[in-house]
Amino acid sequence: MFFPMGFGFDPTILILIPTILLTLYAQSRVKSSFAKYLQVPTRKGYTGAQVARVLLNEAGLEDVPIEVSDGQLSDHYDPRSRVLRLSNEVYRKSSIASVSVAAHEVGHAIQHSNGYVPLSLRNLVFPIARFGSSAAWFFIIIGLVLPAFRGLMDVGILLFGAAVLFQIITLPVEFNASTRAMQLLDTNGFITRDESAGAKKVLNAAALTYVAAMAAGVAQMIRLILIRNRS
């Protein structure tokens, strides 16, 4: 966030306030939901690693290894190295949160194996989005400060747009992985019917963080376009 009107108040900043509040709420909700259901053991007693291994094998992905990753909520599937990484708590605990997160990451592995189109598109956009998110502001600020290079702001907005596009594509990828996770957990009997409500809360809270990120990106994009037109 920046204030392009010297030291005066920039009214376009107001566009970001709702998404900032949504982001803070989403982060708080995912942390509280994860912490709560991390302490609720499943009746079947399977750990996140055990659930992931069974589901991967069942999907014909016996060659996909499961590794422990550092940090909390660092769970992810790496499509480049075809490795599923689970945080220590998810890997070792037999809780509703652990099996839910593990199944969600397996959902991504299955998406990759099946050539799920939104995931393939996201992987294609990722290099451009990564460059765009880091380089966009350089071009935008130069374009604002130096009138002779005003066109650079358009370049920066396009680069930032690639990052926003990545966030938009991420939504169906994450929602689909969560839907797959619930189906896999139910079908294989890893959770009971009354435990599924907790699993949905964990997955829905995580999904909200992606919605918040997308909303923040779109709001910032609108703000940048308004600033450009005003300049």
Contact 155, 139 (CB under 8 A): yes
Catalytic, out of 58, 62, 89, 105: 105
Active-site residue 89, yes or no?
no
Under the banding of pLDDT at 50, 70 and 90, the label for residue 8 is low
Q: What is the pLDDT of residues 23-42, one digit of tens each?
A: 999 999 999 999 999 999 99
> What pLDDT score does 221 carry?
95
DSSP-derived 3-state class of residue 46: coil
pLDDT at 9 over 80: no
**Tens-digit pLDDT profile for residues 154-180:** 999 999 999 999 999 999 999 999 999
**pLDDT tens figures, 95-139:** 999 999 999 999 999 999 999 999 999 999 999 999 999 999 999
pTM: 0.89
| 225-230 contact pairs (CB < 8 A, 24+) | 225/157, 226/12, 226/15, 227/4, 227/10, 227/12, 227/144, 228/153, 228/154, 228/157
